[in-house]
Amino acid sequence: MTQLAFIAEGFGHKDKIRGFCFDLQGKYCFSASWDRTVCQWLIPSEKKSDKNSYSYVNQKIEPFRIYGKHAAEVSAMALWNAQEVLITGDKTGHIFAWDLRTGQCLFDLVSPHTRVSAIYIDELSCESTSSSTLLSSSSTFLSKSSFNWAKSHQIQLYTGGSEGTIYSWRLSYLSLNSSQISTAKKIDKLTIKKIDVFKGPKKAIHQIGVDTEQKLLISSGDEDKIYVWKLDCPANPIHILNFPEKIIFTFAMNKVSSNPYLLCGGQKKKLYLIDYLNGTLIDSIHTSAPISYIFFNQKMMQWLICDFKGNLSRYKITNEKNGIEIIDSISILEENGMFFAGIDKKWKFLALSSPDDSSHSIRFFRLY
């Protein structure tokens, strides 16, 4: 992270922005807002300035698409990238699913949550079923003469609420191709089924993470604790890790099987490195401000930290002391205070928004 270049400012929301996510390609950014909408933004492309270099033209941009059926503030969202589905939740407990290819709403579910405060999709849990299996097992509504193929994709979805519970769901995406219609027609159907409830936290859930290989679920929230469950034992956490924090705002996981570490932080200007498999604290380090966001890049084996002073810092594990150390840090905002951030998987694009900004704009940056 030697350079951070401002590339565009997005205008489209009418109230505070509460979160971001990017698609896997880094082509689109999604922003959730208290104005009851989610905006989809097309990230500006680089312009060729000469034979050997590219640059961006600073510009103001508008949303590519707006998703707006929520009756309350949008408080959480996540992407099912493989099927191009966006899942959003709001402060009335409603969960929506959106088809990103058409912009259509696929379902509106009233969840058991008082308020949906966190959503996580475990894309590594995806299972696909072949057409022959589907056709033989679904004879009540399908026939081989009617459809020349059918395929189902299933994935695990997790939602956290303001009441402190986490629910697991099975999302099923069914695609059918009809052969009885003169013009071939593809029929898509998305269904959701509640599976389990994870209990333990007493206050709102901020974040959920899953290690599919180790079969563990992890959460943080409005408590001084990190909770760890086995996926097949949701009734009781196997680890409850306590910290000298009022709130653990955020965490990010290094899921490498040899070193399954988690880095978390909150209000007390400190980062904690945890072996979440064994429930032990490995190291801690002081920071200059409370922590607002933590991201992890598996390829680079680095954490990216956003703090309340508008600093962006990189950290890595150091073998010398089996702990963490800072690599570098840059200031990205002139004003101090809380801001909301999102970054794509490749750490190529960064989106920022301040709740104190009356224009409710989004600033997009390119990382080099």
What DSSP letter does each residue of 249-266 carry, written as one string? Answer: EEEEEE--TTS-EEEEEE
- 211-243: b or e for each residue (b if 16 or more CB lie within 10 Å)? beeeebbbbbbbbbbbbbbebeebeebebebeb
Can you give the pLDDT at residue 45?
79
Supply 339's token pair: 């801001």
Average pLDDT, the chain: 86
- Grouping H, G, I as helix, E, B as strand and the rest as coil, residue 64 is coil
> What is the block-wise mean pLDDT of the chain (368 residues), using blocks of 10 residues?
82 94 95 97 74 60 95 96 94 96 93 97 81 45 48 91 97 70 57 95 95 95 94 95 85 84 91 93 91 92 90 86 86 71 93 89 91
Q: Which neighbouring-strand residues pair with 314?
A: 304, 328
The pLDDT, as a whole number, for residue 274 is 93
All domains of the chain in start order, with CATH: 200-336 (2.130.10.10)
